[in-house]
Amino acid sequence: MHWADVIAEDIAKNCEEPLIATGISPTGIIHVGSLREAITGESVRSAVKGLGKNVRLIYLIDSYDPLRKRYDFLPKEFEQYVGMPISNIPCPCGKHKNYAHHYVQPFLDAVDSLGVQCEIIWTHELYEQGLFAETIDMAMNKREQVIKILSEVTGKEENPNYAPYTPICSACGRFTQPIFETYEFPYIEYECTCGNRGKDDIREGKGKLTWRCEWPAKWKIFGTSAEPFGKDHAAAGGSYDTGVRIVKEIYDGVPPYPIPYEFVQLKGVGQMHKSLGSPVTGLDAINMTPPEVLNYLFLRVNPSRAIDYDSGMGVLDMADEYDRMERLFFEGEYTEAEEDSVRAYEIAQHNRTPEKLPNQISCRHLVNVAQMAPTFEGVLEILKRNGNISDMTPAETKRLARRVECVRYWLNGFAPDIVKFSVCNTVPPGIELSMAEKAFLQALSVRLYDCIWDAETIGATIADTAKESPVGLKGGYSTLYRILIGKKSGPRLGNFLADMDKSFVVNRVVQASN
């Protein structure tokens, strides 16, 4: 049974209308691992939905978190905002509502393109609406008890200065320590390090619960039934463990079913953007991996297992595996070992599985086609000419267009040089061919002219002609690469030439043989 189905059954057993929560802290550039959280949440949602339950998935943006430091990617003047909530800090580019929006918007677009069906909730708005007031009051009133729980669970000494809630200073805009002794609902007083003293109403969103008290407060507010979270929070004595006790003993609530997930590791030499020199971000992963494939990547293994994201050839391997599982799903025949992967394919469709096998154009093939045609129309023309596509549904065209975009992004930033080429408009200058090579091309031009223009026949024609010639198989192949792309090697010739116009190829071979 697929892991998402196991979790879904557990959740559905105890809950009539389950709510699954996921979230993100948009304080900076978003890592590939954040995608795992969103997709894990969505997969459980769709599996629960498949059991006939009325289920919701919420996506909580921690827009009220403080900016912890000025990160290297931020301009110098951002030093002044350290310690302020990111929803109150201006956006670095000037085009977004605030800092939180700036960093989370591309990610929200991505989550949308991945088909994740969630409700977006901004934490700073929950505070402004006073939704945290009850839990803030409880945590402040039972502060001694909170301190005891934290110490017992983490094994650290009790911290008498621990603040479950930090008000925002009205003078400097930073989170600051409250005065515990004078707290009386709904007013909290503080004395900031900037010298300002103030008094605020906890119902007005002028402060926030600190992390270990805020997370369980969200469980209480939403009645969260299940939540995926990074394994760092799941460690013994970590914030899930303290959250469980705080939600029960302080807030009189129930903890969610935990779905801890392992990190996503970036693998191999392909993990840096070639021209920018920056590591692969979550957005890079979205831009170069077709959404259906990215969904599948996170679903094929249990959340407790680490995932290697290989931005080199791994992107193509993964897309090929996805296509294979798609074929198996529609054929309906597969081994027991493939069962979970086929189910992962199905869950990756978010309850919207196509009715029949979609037209599959592999990313591997598109790597070649995209390098021959600079526009999507050009790509379509090639694929139509060689019979790869005929009648396409709008959904199939959309999927193909997205795949082409992903392949182009990958070629520009991450693809190994070995797969890159550009077809020269004429025989590349400076190429010297031997008499034997010219004779080979001459013989080949005649045979190609008569040959049926499909990959298999072309491949066989080239191989036969080369074997009969003194240049041999290897020499024949490299001669063709040299006159077409000016390199000694390239994509598999049968497929490669089949994607090109027949007369273009024949003319080139004739030209070079003279």
Q: What is the DSSP string of 383-448?
A: HHHTTS-SS--HHHHHHHHHHHHHHHHHHHHT--GGG-----SSSPTT----HHHHHHHHHHHHHH
Residue 17: both structure tokens together: 């209308």
Total site size for Zn ion, rule CB under 5 A: 11
Residue 179 found at the interface with Zn ion (CB under 5 A)? no
Residue 93 found at the interface with Zn ion (CB under 5 A)? yes
Residue 171 found at the interface with Zn ion (CB under 5 A)? yes
Q: Which is nearer to Zn ion, 97 or 474 (CB)?
A: 97
Contacts with Zn ion in 72-91 (CB under 5 A)?
91
Contacts with Zn ion in 195-214 (CB under 5 A)?
196
Residue 356 found at the interface with Zn ion (CB under 5 A)? no
Q: Pick the stretch among 153-161, 168-176, 254-262, 483-491 that binds Zn ion (CB under 5 A).
A: 168-176
Question: Is 499 exposed, middle or buried (CB count within 10 Å of its CB: 0-12, 13-18, 19+)?
Answer: buried
Question: Which residue from 192, 280, 294, 370 is in contact with Zn ion, where contact means CB under 5 A?
Answer: 192
Residue 132 Cβ vs Zn ion, minimum distance, rounded to whole Å:
21
Residue 29 found at the interface with Zn ion (CB under 5 A)? no
Residue 7 found at the interface with Zn ion (CB under 5 A)? no
Q: Pick the stretch among 36-44, 142-150, 167-175, 375-383 that binds Zn ion (CB under 5 A).
A: 167-175
Q: Which is nearer to Zn ion, 64 or 175 (CB)?
A: 175
| Other Cβ atoms within 10 Å of 253 Cβ, number | 21
CA nearest neighbour of 43 among 325, 259, 215, 224: 259
Q: Which is nearer to Zn ion, 172 or 254 (CB)?
A: 172
| Other Cβ atoms within 10 Å of 44 Cβ, number | 31
Q: Which is nearer to Zn ion, 100 or 458 (CB)?
A: 100
Round to whole Å and give the CA distance between 117 and 119: 7
Q: Which is nearer to Zn ion, 171 or 269 (CB)?
A: 171
Q: Pick the stretch among 160-168, 184-192, 214-222, 387-395 that binds Zn ion (CB under 5 A).
A: 184-192
Q: Which is nearer to Zn ion, 169 or 318 (CB)?
A: 169
Q: What is the DSSP string of 170-226?
A: TTT--B--EEEEEEETTEEEEE-TTS-EEEEEGGGSSEEE-HHHHHHHHHHHHT--E
Centroid of chain to Cα 44: 17
Q: Which is nearer to Zn ion, 75 or 429 (CB)?
A: 75
Residue 169 found at the interface with Zn ion (CB under 5 A)? yes
Residue 121 Cβ vs Zn ion, minimum distance, rounded to whole Å:
21
Question: Is 14 exposed, middle or buried (CB count within 10 Å of its CB: 0-12, 13-18, 19+)?
Answer: exposed
Q: Pick the stretch among 106-114, 172-180, 197-205, 325-333 that binds Zn ion (CB under 5 A).
A: 172-180
Residue 194 found at the interface with Zn ion (CB under 5 A)? yes
Q: Which is nearer to Zn ion, 102 or 300 (CB)?
A: 102
Residue 288 found at the interface with Zn ion (CB under 5 A)? no
Residue 404 found at the interface with Zn ion (CB under 5 A)? no
Q: Pick the stretch among 63-71, 92-100, 365-373, 381-389 that binds Zn ion (CB under 5 A).
A: 92-100
Residue 109 Cβ vs Zn ion, minimum distance, rounded to whole Å:
13
Residue 14 found at the interface with Zn ion (CB under 5 A)? no
Residue 468: both structure tokens together: 């009969």
First and final CA of the chain: distance in angstroms?
A: 64
Round to whole Å and give the CA distance between 243 and 149: 10
| Other Cβ atoms within 10 Å of 189 Cβ, number | 16
- Using an 8 Å Cβ cutoff, are 149 and 246 in contact? yes
Contacts with Zn ion in 96-135 (CB under 5 A)?
96, 102
Residue 104 Cβ vs Zn ion, minimum distance, rounded to whole Å:
10
Residue 328 found at the interface with Zn ion (CB under 5 A)? no
CA nearest neighbour of 25 among 122, 128, 163, 131: 122
Residue 172 found at the interface with Zn ion (CB under 5 A)? yes
Round to whole Å and give the CA distance between 338 and 96: 45
> Which residues are CB-contacts of 26 (< 8 A; sequence separation ≥ 6)?
61, 62, 63, 86, 100, 103, 104, 107
Contacts with Zn ion in 422-481 (CB under 5 A)?
none
Q: Pick the stretch among 76-84, 140-148, 170-178, 329-337 that binds Zn ion (CB under 5 A).
A: 170-178
Q: Identity (one letter) of the amino acid at 96?
A: H
Helix (H, G, I), strand (E, B) or coil at 53: coil
Residue 100 Cβ vs Zn ion, minimum distance, rounded to whole Å:
10
Residue numbers at the binding site for Zn ion (CB under 5 A): 91, 93, 95-96, 102, 169, 171-172, 192, 194, 196
